[in-house]
Amino acid sequence: MTEPHDLPSAAELVEAVREFLAHDVLPAVDGRVQFHTRVAVNVLGMVGRELALGPAQAAAHGEGLAALGVSSEAELARIIRQGGADDRMDDIGRFVRATVRAKLEVANPKYLAE
């Protein structure tokens, strides 16, 4: 957390609302409201994970792009389409796997369970 914000942090607030919905609201509702509450719980989990992991993931992503000599995913895709990266496919594959892993760490870490 950085100044000028006080406690609780944004991540703590998100987690408090997520826990309230999951533990107090979800058991008390059914049908459509229960479904939408589950969706809200999942979304708040994603937001919390992005708040926690996002800055480091963004830095690693930028470093990965730079190591490939590009400034964006769009530029990388253009170079691949034009055949200008055929000799770097192993490096690109590692970068893409790391990118997908980072996305799953935020979206649903359960998909990473082995």
Q: What is the pTM of this model?
A: 0.84
Q: What is the pLDDT of residue 54?
A: 95
CB 61 within 8 Å of CB 50: no
Residues 6 or more apart whose CB falls under 8 angstroms from that of 30 comprise none
- Is 69 in contact with 36 (CB distance < 8 Å)? no
CB atoms within 10 A of CB 72: 10
pLDDT for the residue 1: 56
- Walking along the chain (114 residues) 10 residues at a time, the average pLDDT comes out as 80 96 97 98 97 96 98 97 95 97 96 83
The pLDDT value given to residue 5: 78
